[in-house]
Structure 1
Amino acid sequence: MSVRSLPATPAGRLQPRAGGERAGDRYGDDPAWRWATLAPSLAIMLALSVLPLLNLFWLSFNNVTWSGGVATWTPVGLTHYKAVFSDALFRAGVWNTTVFALGAVTGQMILGFVMALYCSRIQRGRVLYRALFILPILIPGIVVGAIWKLMLNYDFGLANQALGLVGIEPVDWLGANETALLSVILVDIWHWTPFCFLLFLAGLESMPRDVYEAAHMDGASGWQELLHVTLPMMLPTIMVTFAFRIVLAFKVFDEVYLLTGGGPGTATEVVSFTLYQRFFTEDRVGYGAAMSIIVIFLVSVLLVLALSARRRSETGP
């Protein structure tokens, strides 16, 4: 049959012949077909995430020793879990990680929101500003650590050189208990603020303009517009950004490892660095597995709380 012989709709569109059913029409609503197409992806996810997690959980109840290249598993029950809660280094790591996460994420979200708000309102040079703002996140973590370790060096670092120009004594940024954790927080803020900036900018640019036009007609000032229009409408985006960053902040390792190595003392000891020491330095894999399970549980609780707060912000009071 030629194209001209096909029946047409009133709008002039060609219709397929009766019986010319598409594959999507036959299988799109079939649950068995959907499960069959998703099965390979689910199998890969189970193999790469769930099975290693189950193995880690089982490992936490055993003590592993090596002899002649062969691992010997000895069941120890809850011994490792009891030891974790009495580990002073782990408690210091949890405290430092909490302080680090709250300080770094708060700074990143405030700076990221201010930058996104500014960038969404400028008309000229918008592409240049965006490129400059996202530049830190494009730098690999190991390069970030090397750059800031040189900048914060006590003897010849740029930070102390700048302080010397105004007559201030040099500061041991990475070697003093009072400033080491603060220095790591500032480096993380510099590195990850662009992540918050990108999410906030996307949220601001997707907001409906008619709401702002109505606010202008009602005589709202810029500050009132921010408090009563922008922030309430951006609350879901803010909660998603917070959830992402708080989870990633609790996983911080590279910056601590490169800048301070957990020191001085336990000033910058974080849980990821403690896990690294237990697994690879002390070879206490069973104990490290128990510590990992506890950390995964704590991070999961934080994520659930953040997502619950986001859901409440979307549904309203």
Structure 2
Amino acid sequence: MAAPQKARIVFMGTPEFAARILRGLLFWPKGRVVAVYTRPDRPAGRGHKIAVSPVKVLALASSLPVIQPLHFNSTAAFDELAAFAPDFLAVAAYGMILPDRIIAVPRLAPLNVHASLLPLYRGAAPVQRALMENWHDGAVTGVSVMHMVSQLDAGPVYAVQTVPISDSTAGQMQDLLAQEGSRLLCAVMDDLLSGRANPGKQDSDKASYAAKIRKKDLIINWNLPALAVHAHLRALAPWPSARALFRFVGWTDDWSLLLFPGFPGDPLTGETPGVLSHTRHALAVACADRWYELDLVRPEGSATMSVRDFVNGRLRGMPYGLCGAALS
């Protein structure tokens, strides 16, 4: 008896989150990835060297065809995709809008893995926004697999997986959600193949939007509680990192520092939010309710260093105690 034919999958994605999902798909026994679409290579970094996406790296290492269209507006782009005769279109953080006729190509379903509990945090930065806005005990986020429609992240949802936020950074959370999302995607495709799938309509009244991270989002608001500041720093780690401009007492130059997650410290005793304090090994900023202790910083144009090294090297000779203020 001949073995059942495997489902044909065209995968579309770009960053590491998507690469992790693709990696899981490659081991799904009921399907075969027949092509991979990813964003075009582009200059990156200070040297403007051409960078390829993590998805492309994995696809080439797996001997898969890689297609990198600038858009899908042409008949040629449509015909190229249709020629793969996919049963499933599997999309994760692709970064391109897909026209309706592209979404309609797969025989069984166009599926999208989205890193939130839809309808919450539709849009470009669901992980970062979820971490920034949910900093109380017991906060959760998650991952959803939905049927793609023309409206952004608004299609019927096949399955969701809830994940506690705990003390995760955005990088750690993306890794976990990619792992769960890959498992969930394979389960949904299995259900579609067997006729068990039953997607549920999203409640648009509960929808929220996760806007792309902008430069203004990198600035910390020290008037917030320390736990909210901690959540904001974690949401921007490991990249692009929060930023602050510090002015130290008696210094004419201000310090621009990249900040990384530390921890909430002791309650305030009347200090104004944004005030700086340092000891032999520590640098802390006053928030609305308590101090926030920094662990790592990166001065503009320098390498990342421990706060201990920064204090002992850059603040040597400055009296301990209140030493300045965060300007932004």
TM interval, short-chain normalised: under 0.3
* Structure with the largest fraction of helix: 1
TM-score by length of 2: 0.21
Which structure has the higher relative contact order (CA within 8 Å, separation 6+)?
Answer: 1
Larger Rg: 1
* Structure with the largest fraction of strand: 2
